[in-house]
Amino acid sequence: MDRRDVLKLLGLSPLAPAFDALGLDARALLDGAQTRPSPDVELALTAAPAELSVLKGAPTRVWRFTGRVVKGPPETLQAIPDSWLGPIIRLERGQRVRIRFRNQLDEPSIVHWHGLDVPELADGHPRLAVNGGREYVYDFEVTNRAGTYWYHPHPHQRTGAQVYQGLAGMLVVSDPEEKALGLPSGAGELVCVLQDRRFDADNQFMYASSVGGGMGMAGGRGMGGMGRGQGGRGMGMSGMAEMMQTMNGWLGDTVLVNGRLHPTVNVDRRTYRVRLLNGSNARIYKLAWSDDTPVTIIGSDGGLLERAREMQALTLAPGQRADVLLDLSDRAAGSELQLRSLAYPEAAVGRVGMMEATGPLPQGAPLTLMTLKVSNATGPRVRLPERLATPPAEWRVQPDAPVRRVSITFMQMNWLLGGRTFEMETVAPEETVAPGSTHVWEFRNEPNPMGMAMAHPVHLHGRQFRVLSRAGADGNALRDGISDSSANDTVLVLPGETVRVQVTFSTYPGLYLYHCHILEHEDMGMMRNFRIRA
Ligand code: C2O
Ligand code: CU
Ligand code: CU
C-alpha cells in the first residue's frame, strides 16, 4: 500500500492535497478504511500479459484480465476458457462490491465499468490510472437494472491499445424483476463478444503505432508499446496510410467471437438468450441470422426493453450491447444457423482522408461471425410476456429539460466534441450539471468543408439515457438497424445526423466522461469531462 492506494481506499482523490494537510499518517487512515461497511462481494482482478493459441500455429501474446472471488458467491466470476476475454462478472442489483484491481502491465492502467452508475472514484477516470505493480480498489453498490454491461481499461491515450491487446470482459447484472420472467439462463444463455484484429505472420496482434499525442502529425510521440506489431512494421503500410486508418478507427481483417475465429457452438432445441457486445475498437456490425429469422431484441445497453422488438437486422456500434432471444425449439437436429454481419456501403460509416484510408477489411464488409449447430437434445421453450419491464420514471420524456447542443466535428486532424478536445481535469460551464438533473444533449454530426463525416458511437458514463429523436440520416444503410430503446449508454450518431438524448445525471458528484467509443477517436481526444456538482 502506498499513499495513493490508501487515499483511494478512503474514497479521496489522490490529487487532493487534503491528506498532507491533515497531517495524518497512512496507518491511521488505513485503520479508518477498515471500518467501512464490508462488501457483499469482493473480487481480485488482475491485468497481465499471457499467451494464447488463437490461430493455427504460433501462440498470440495478449493482455488479459483474470479474477478471483475473495468473498461472495463463487459464481460471481465465470471464466471464458481459451479466450483473451476477462471473466464474466455476474452481479446482483443491491450488492455492495469491492474490486481490487492489480495492474501487472508495464504501463499505467485503470478499469472502467461501462454502463454502471458508480461513485466518481469507482468510475475509472484516466487521471486515476495506476502504474504497473500497483493496485486500485473500487467500492460501489450495484444500482443498475438487470442487463448486459462490460468492463475495460480507460488509461490516457492507451484505451484502444489495451482493449485491442485483450483487456475486456462482460459484466452481467440481474435483479428480481428480471428473474421473475424466467428468461433462459445457465446453458440457455450465449455470450458473444464481437472483436476484430489484425495478425502478423507470427500470429501477433498488429495495432497502430501512432494513436495519442496528435497522431505524429502535430509532433506526437508514437505510442507503440505493444511488444510486437507496433504499427507499420512488417505491415507493408506507409506511415500516412496507417495514420489515416487510425484516424478513421483501427479495423482488423479478422473478426472473432469471444476471441475465437468463426466458432461453431453446439446448441439444443430450446430458447436461448444471446447477450451481444460489440467490443471492437471501431467496427460497426449490422447483425442478422442467416435464414432471415428476425432478430428478437429484448434488451439493450441498460437492460430489458418494455416490450420485445423484432428487426431484420441490428446495428451494433462499438461499446453497445444487445440482448436477443432466439427460439430453436422447432429446428431440425443437425441444422445450422449463422450469425452474420450484413454488407452495407462503407459510406454509411464514412471516413476522412482521400487515400489508403480504409483498412484491409473495410466497414460494411459482409461477415459470418459464428455458427450454431442444433443437436437433437431439447430444452425449455420460453414464451415472453407481453410486457418485459417497467421503464424507470426518469425515462419519461420531460419536455422542459434544457437542451445543450454538442457539435461533432473534424478540424485540423482532430475529432472534436462541442469544438473541444480532451483535457484531463477541465470542464466547461455547459459541461457542469446538478446531481440528478435532467438534460437533453443534442449531438450534431457535422461534415467538414469537404463534405466528410463519420459515424460516431457517443458514450456517456454513469446513467443510461433515452434517445428522443434522430434526423438527417434517412438514407443511411445503418439507419434501419438502429434500435433506439428506452435505455442506452452509447448512441450511434451517423454522418450528417442530429440525435437528441435525454439523460438524468447521477446523484454521485464528481468528474465523469463522455466520448466517442471508437477507441482511437477517444485516445486522440474525442472525449470530454462533465462534472456533477456536489
Ligand atoms: Cu466503454 Cu468511457 O467507456
Ligand atoms: Cu463507460
Ligand atoms: Cu468517433
Tell me which ligand sits closest to the C-alpha of residue 168.
Answer: 1
Q: Is the CB of 154 under 6 A from ligand 1?
A: yes
Shared domain check, 147 and 49: yes
Q: Is the CB of 461 under 6 A from ligand 1?
A: yes
User: pLDDT tens digits for 30-62?
Assistant: 444 555 679 999 999 999 999 999 999 999 999
Shared domain check, 358 and 423: no
Instruction: Specify the pLDDT at position 365.
Output: 97
User: Ligand 1 centroid to 517 CA: how many Å?
Assistant: 7
Instruction: Specify the pLDDT at position 234.
Output: 43
In a domain, 425, yes or no: yes
User: pLDDT tens digits for 252-295?
Assistant: 999 999 999 999 999 999 999 999 999 999 999 999 999 989 99
Cβ count near 5 (within 10 Å)? 18
β-strand partners of 440:
403, 502
Shared domain check, 483 and 358: no
Q: Counting atoms of ligand 1 from 1, which one is nearest the CA of 515? A: 2
Instruction: Specify the pLDDT at position 392.
Output: 85
User: Ligand 3 centroid to 211 CA: how many Å?
Assistant: 13
Q: What is the DSSP letter of 151?
A: E
Q: Is the CB of 459 under 6 A from ligand 1?
A: yes
In the listed set 160, 176, 192, which residue is the last one of a domain according to the structure?
A: 176
Q: Is the CB of 114 under 6 A from ligand 1?
A: yes
480: containing domain: 393-532
Identify whether the C-beta of residue 95 lies closer than 8 Å to the C-beta of residue 41. yes
525 by DSSP, 3-state: which? Answer: coil
Instruction: Tell me the average pLDDT of the chain.
Output: 90
Confidence of residue 224 (pLDDT cuts 50, 70, 90): very low
Q: Whose CA is nearest to atom 3 of ligand 1?
A: 114
Q: Is the CB of 125 under 6 A from ligand 1?
A: no
Confidence of residue 468 (pLDDT cuts 50, 70, 90): very high
Asked if the model's pLDDT at residue 362 lies above 80, the reply is yes
Q: Is the CB of 319 under 6 A from ligand 1?
A: yes
Mean pLDDT in residue range 7-13: 45
User: What CA–CA distance (Å, rounded) separates 415 from 250?
Assistant: 15
Shared domain check, 136 and 106: yes
User: Ligand 2 centroid to 302 CA: how many Å?
Assistant: 12
Instruction: Specify the pLDDT at position 373.
Output: 98
Shared domain check, 275 and 165: no
Q: Counting atoms of ligand 1 from 1, which one is nearest the CA of 527? A: 2
Q: Counting atoms of ligand 1 from 1, which one is nearest the CA of 513? A: 2
Asked if the model's pLDDT at residue 167 lies above 60, the reply is yes
User: Ligand 2 centroid to 484 CA: how many Å?
Assistant: 18
Q: Is the CB of 273 under 6 A from ligand 1?
A: no
In a domain, 3, yes or no: no
In a domain, 199, yes or no: no
User: Ligand 1 centroid to 236 CA: how many Å?
Assistant: 32
Residue that wins the pLDDT comparison between 222 and 473: 473
Instruction: Specify the pLDDT at position 227.
Output: 33
Mean pLDDT in residue range 92-115: 98
Q: Is the CB of 158 under 6 A from ligand 1?
A: no
Shared domain check, 528 and 407: yes
In the listed set 126, 143, 176, which residue is the last one of a domain according to the structure?
A: 176
In a domain, 16, yes or no: no
**Range list of H helices, 137-181:** 159-164, 176-179
User: Ligand 3 centroid to 423 CA: how many Å?
Assistant: 17
- Residues with CB in 5 Å of ion ligand 2: 114, 461
Q: What is the DSSP letter of 209?
A: S
Mean pLDDT in residue range 152-161: 98
Q: Poorest-confidence range of 4-18, 82-96, 333-347?
A: 4-18
Instruction: Specify the pLDDT at position 35.
Output: 55
Instruction: Specify the pLDDT at position 443.
Output: 98
Confidence of residue 16 (pLDDT cuts 50, 70, 90): very low
Q: Is the dihedral of CA 517, 518, 522, 528 positive or negative?
A: negative
> How many residues appear in the chain?
534
User: pLDDT tens digits for 436-462?
Assistant: 999 999 999 999 888 899 999 999 999
Q: Is the CB of 528 under 6 A from ligand 1?
A: no
Asked if the model's pLDDT at residue 297 lies above 80, the reply is yes
User: Ligand 3 centroid to 526 CA: how many Å?
Assistant: 7
Mean pLDDT in residue range 322-334: 97
- Residues with CB in 5 Å of ion ligand 3: 456, 516, 518, 521
User: pLDDT tens digits for 76-90?
Assistant: 999 999 999 999 999
Cell of 314: 441490428
pTM of the model: 0.91
β-strand partners of 84:
none
Shared domain check, 417 and 332: no
Identify whether the C-beta of residue 47 lies closer than 8 Å to the C-beta of residue 153. yes
**Residue pointed to by grid coordinates 460551464:** 429
User: Ligand 1 centroid to 20 CA: how many Å?
Assistant: 32
Instruction: Specify the pLDDT at position 356.
Output: 63
Identify whether the C-beta of residue 44 lies closer than 8 Å to the C-beta of residue 68. yes
User: Ligand 1 centroid to 151 CA: how many Å?
Assistant: 8
In a domain, 504, yes or no: yes
Instruction: Specify the pLDDT at position 395.
Output: 86
In a domain, 221, yes or no: no
Instruction: Specify the pLDDT at position 467.
Output: 97
The domain total for the chain is: 3
Instruction: Specify the pLDDT at position 14.
Output: 44
Q: Is the CB of 72 under 6 A from ligand 1?
A: no
Shared domain check, 441 and 337: no
Looking at residue 310, which CATH number applies to its domain? 2.60.40.420
User: pLDDT tens digits for 409-439?
Assistant: 999 889 999 999 999 999 999 999 999 999 9
Q: Is the CB of 444 under 6 A from ligand 1?
A: no
Instruction: Specify the pLDDT at position 67.
Output: 98
Confidence of residue 211 (pLDDT cuts 50, 70, 90): low
Q: What percent of the chain clears pLDDT 90, i.e. is strictly above it?
A: 81
Q: Counting atoms of ligand 1 from 1, which one is nearest the CA of 154? A: 2
Tell me which ligand sits closest to the C-alpha of residue 159.
Answer: 1
Confidence of residue 11 (pLDDT cuts 50, 70, 90): very low
Shared domain check, 292 and 414: no
User: pLDDT tens digits for 123-144?
Assistant: 999 999 999 999 999 999 999 9
Instruction: Specify the pLDDT at position 228.
Output: 36
In a domain, 472, yes or no: yes
User: What CA–CA distance (Å, rounded) separates 285 from 192?
Assistant: 13
Shared domain check, 345 and 288: yes
Closest CA to 116 of 134, 133, 131, 97: 97
In the listed set 378, 404, 421, which residue is the last one of a domain according to the structure?
A: 378
In a domain, 32, yes or no: no
Q: Whose CA is nearest to atom 1 of ligand 1?
A: 114
User: Ligand 1 centroid to 113 CA: how many Å?
Assistant: 8
Instruction: Specify the pLDDT at position 242.
Output: 86
Q: Is the CB of 112 under 6 A from ligand 1?
A: yes
Shared domain check, 60 and 170: yes
Instruction: Specify the pLDDT at position 162.
Output: 98
Cell of 473: 440520416
Q: What percent of the chain clears pLDDT 70, i.e. is strictly above it?
A: 87
Instruction: Specify the pLDDT at position 450.
Output: 86
Shared domain check, 397 and 361: no
